[in-house]
Amino acid sequence: MPFATHLVCRECGKKYPLASLTACEECFGPLELDYDYAAIQKSLSREMLQSRPPNMWRYREFLPLSEPPKVGFDVGFTPLIHARRLGDTLGLKNLYIKNDAVNHPTLSFKDRVVAVSISKAIEFGFRVVGCASTGNLANAVAAQAASAGLESYILIPEDLETVKIMATAVYRPRLIKVRGNYDTVNRLCSEIADEKGWAFVNVNLRPYYAEGSKTMGHEILEQLNWQVPDNVVLPMAGGSLLNKINKAFNEFEKVGWIQKNTAKFFGAQASGCSPISTAFKENYPDIQPVKPKTIAKSLAIGNPADGYYAVETIRRSGGRADDVSDEEIVEGIQLLAETEGIFTETAGGVTIGVLKKLVEEKHIHPDEVTVAAITGQGLKTVEVLSETTYSIPIINADYDDFEKVLK
């Protein structure tokens, strides 16, 4: 029984039936899914929810599918870790890490959005799916399309990390490198989606795709035992994740499972591509696009479609946006690994780097409950680390040599 009722334009409020649409046809504003929350409240309780299997579909009433999911059956319900050692280092008593670096099947939070959008594409009758991607989305679309036997077309900027390319190519999609940055690839995909009538998950299935991110927020609240965190720190590429975690918190408020969404939202970017954090800090009325230049390629979106609303969400919540340098990103990766045993990709380094800055500048306080989201896996961006940093000795298989190295 679906509870999603219609699509509604965030800009002008025009309503649409649940169809494959990129944006509002009147004003091009982004389309949001609306639900019958009163009906959800009547048919579902926290107790019923907790008896369901540990994956993102336990929140299916808050997702826009009309039929059971078609792909990604085990996605989600990733660990929420009480990060005591990182917390000690930073001076936080109640720090939690939401670890989507171990999401299933492709080790990033994109598995969530793809599980929803490909399932929806199949409901709509599409036989071909595709995406423009900075890497993680490519991995997720290629894998989940393969599992459903769908043809997939995946367009990526030519300079992506090798692992992200190979971890897409292995599923045998039609993988195409495009000369230029992500924004260029996106523009091309928009034209292709118009011409070919394929389901591009981040273009003509965008409203459904984006809803998948909410489950990360649902999980955070359930895993905190229905306590609303004081602060949530999230990486920002296009800005959609931050808006959707906020929406997830609002939803649980609407159905009465939490008291009030009082969380402050903090957005993290790389200084080499920080159109959203710059708009926040400089008080711009709109987002000014930039040409990305950062090692955090999964966040390298110079023209972030949901950036305007991310700034609005951050402001309304009393949070902040900030950015860190490439050096600080690598330090962030290193710090999380050393203290918590979690290896994250560059986007996670951005989140940890900005978290550190926010604590140092006293925007986040020691006793508050803070959740930082790790959205991707370190193995995918190993090239930002250098073996020389670790001065790794080589010895003969000789016990005396081993003793020498210990000195």
Partner 1 sequence: MAVSVKLPRPFRRMTQGQTEVLLNGSSVRELLDDLESKHPGIQEKIFDDRNQLRRFINVYVNNEDIRFLNGLDTPISENDKVTVISAIAGG
Distance CA 266, CA 373 (A): 11
C-alpha to C-alpha distances, 254 to 6, 36, 83, 247, 251, nearest whole angstrom: 18, 10, 30, 10, 5
Q: Which stretch binds partner 1 (CB under 8 A): 61-69, 128-136, 214-222, 325-333?
A: 128-136
Considering only 26, 194, 286, 383, the residue that binds Zn ion (CB under 5 A) is 26
Beta bridge partners of residue 15, listed in sequence order: 8
Q: Residue 173 has which token pair?
A: 């999609």
Angle at 259 between CA 244 and CA 351, to 5 degrees: 40
Considering only 64, 87, 212, 238, the residue that binds partner 1 (CB under 8 A) is 238
* Residue 403 touches Zn ion, criterion: CB under 5 A: no
* Residue 25 touches Zn ion, criterion: CB under 5 A: no
Q: Residue 334 has which token pair?
A: 């290193």
> Binding partner of residue 346 among partner 1, Zn ion, none, CB under 5 to 8 Å per kind?
none
- List, in sequence order, the alpha helices (H) in 26-135: 37-43, 46-50, 84-90, 110-124
C-beta of residue 375 within 8 angstroms of C-beta of residue 76: no
Task: Provide φ and ψ at 250, rounded to 5°.
Answer: -60, -40
Q: Residue 110 has which token pair?
A: 């994109």
* Residue 181 touches partner 1, criterion: CB under 8 A: no
Using alpha carbons, select from 103, 212, 217, 198 the residue that is nearest to residue 150: 198
* Residue 29 touches Zn ion, criterion: CB under 5 A: yes
Beta strand extents in 256-398 (DSSP E only): 264-270, 321-324, 369-374
Considering only 7, 18, 24, 155, the residue that binds Zn ion (CB under 5 A) is 24
Least CB distance to partner 1 at residue 351 (A): 16
* Residue 159 touches partner 1, criterion: CB under 8 A: no
* Residue 9 touches Zn ion, criterion: CB under 5 A: yes
Binding map of partner 1 across residues 58-77, x = CB under 8 A, - = no contact: --------------------
Distance CA 87, CA 361 (A): 16
> Which of residues 198 and 209 has its CB atom nearest to partner 1 in the complex?
209
* Residue 233 touches Zn ion, criterion: CB under 5 A: no
* Residue 183 touches partner 1, criterion: CB under 8 A: yes
Least CB distance to partner 1 at residue 186 (A): 5
Give the residues lining the site for partner 1 (CB under 8 A). 11, 22-23, 25-30, 110, 131-134, 136-138, 180, 182-184, 186-187, 189-191, 194-195, 201-203, 206, 209-210, 237-240, 286, 288-289, 291, 301, 303-306, 308
